[in-house]
Amino acid sequence: MIVDKIDADKDGFVTEGELKSWIKHAQKKYIYDNVENQWQEFDMNQDGFISWDEYRNVTYGTYLDDPDPDDGFNYKQMMVRDERRFKMADKDGDLIATKEEFTAFLHPEEYDYMKDIVVQETMEDIDKNADGFIDLEEYIGDMYSHDGNADEPEWVKTEREQFVEFRDKNRDGKMDKEETKDWILPSDYDHAEAEARHLVYESDQNKDGKLTKEEIVDKYDLFVGSQATDFGEALVRHDEF
């Protein structure tokens, strides 16, 4: 059923371009559904807007009532971080989010004007010694924990090389804000295009540059693990997009 929808020109073949368009469509659908689901929860007075107070009260209400919870979780820090992101998403500065602004708050990586906050939050998460940079050990520590195991897997060694060769462009042993931005939000990388190319390369048995339904179904496990099927979700919901 989904293959027929991906095949936009109905010629019986799925091209890389059709897959790319479909994956972009699937990403937008995921974001739209996610925002719609959360919107009902946070728009307390049903006025079609979400104020910072509404968001804070729903998310942190119990913490505000009891600022010293037993679980030891740092809600104050999370709330400060959320408020900073909310203010960045809220373009007109009235602390009331339209649906578009709320989407930018929940999915900042999708909006150009939110990219700085994505970089800032990433650096804060990984930069354990809070010196404003990500050094090699912090970079590796974000992906891999030694847990007393002296031998690192091969992929970790590859990541170390990646850091030295490509991430740390000025070779000063650490990543600054611009280098971190190039890492997590590369300007010359189209995620949907890369995914489409990978799917065609792996599934195109006769190497004619396009996919038949049979070729796709034959590699169903690859597609179930892909954004093309919303990681399998679209196969069990029958309202696919």
Q: What is the pLDDT of residues 130-169, one digit of tens each?
A: 999 999 999 999 999 877 667 889 999 999 999 999 999 9
Segment 69-85 shows an average pLDDT of 83
> How far is residue 158 from each of residues 122, 152, 162, 200, measured CA to CA in Å?
21, 10, 6, 26
Partners of 51 in the β-ladder: 96
pLDDT range class, residue 227, cuts 50, 70, 90: confident
CB 194 within 8 Å of CB 23: no
Predicted pLDDT at 115:
95
Question: Does residue 77 or residue 103 have the better pLDDT?
Answer: 103
By percentage, how much of the chain surpasses pLDDT 90?
79
HEC string of 152-190?
A: CCHHHHHHHHHHHHHHCCCCCCEECHHHHHHHHCCCCCC
Two structure tokens written together for 216: 């796709």
Burial class (CB in 10 A: 0-12, 13-18, 19+), 176: middle
233 vs 127: which has the higher pLDDT: 127
- Residue 69's pLDDT is what? 63
Q: What is the DSSP letter of 211?
A: B
Q: What is the largest CA-CA distance in the chain?
A: 64
pLDDT recorded at residue 70: 66
Q: Tell me the pLDDT tens digit for each residue of 80-114.
A: 999 999 999 999 999 999 999 999 999 999 999 99
Alpha carbon distance 112, 115 (integer Å): 5
Q: Cα torsion at 34, 184, 188, 28 (round to 10°)? A: 0
pLDDT at 241 over 70: no
Share of the chain above pLDDT 70, in %: 95
What is the pLDDT at residue 74? 78
Nearest to 227 by CA among 15, 19, 7: 19
pLDDT at 75: 85
pLDDT given for residue 232 in this prediction: 84
What is the rounded CA–CA span in Å between residue 141 and residue 155? Answer: 13
Q: Mean pLDDT throughout 58-78?
A: 78
User: Tell me, what's the pLDDT at 66?
Assistant: 74
> What's the CA dihedral at 72, 78, 79, 80 to 10 degrees?
120
- Rounded Cα–Cα distance for residues 119 and 135 (Å): 15
Q: What is the pTM of this model?
A: 0.81
Read off the pLDDT of residues 28-51 as tens digits, 9 standing for 90 and up.
988 999 999 999 999 999 999 999
Q: How far does the chain reach from its first CA to its final CA, in angstroms?
A: 11
Predicted pLDDT at 239? 61
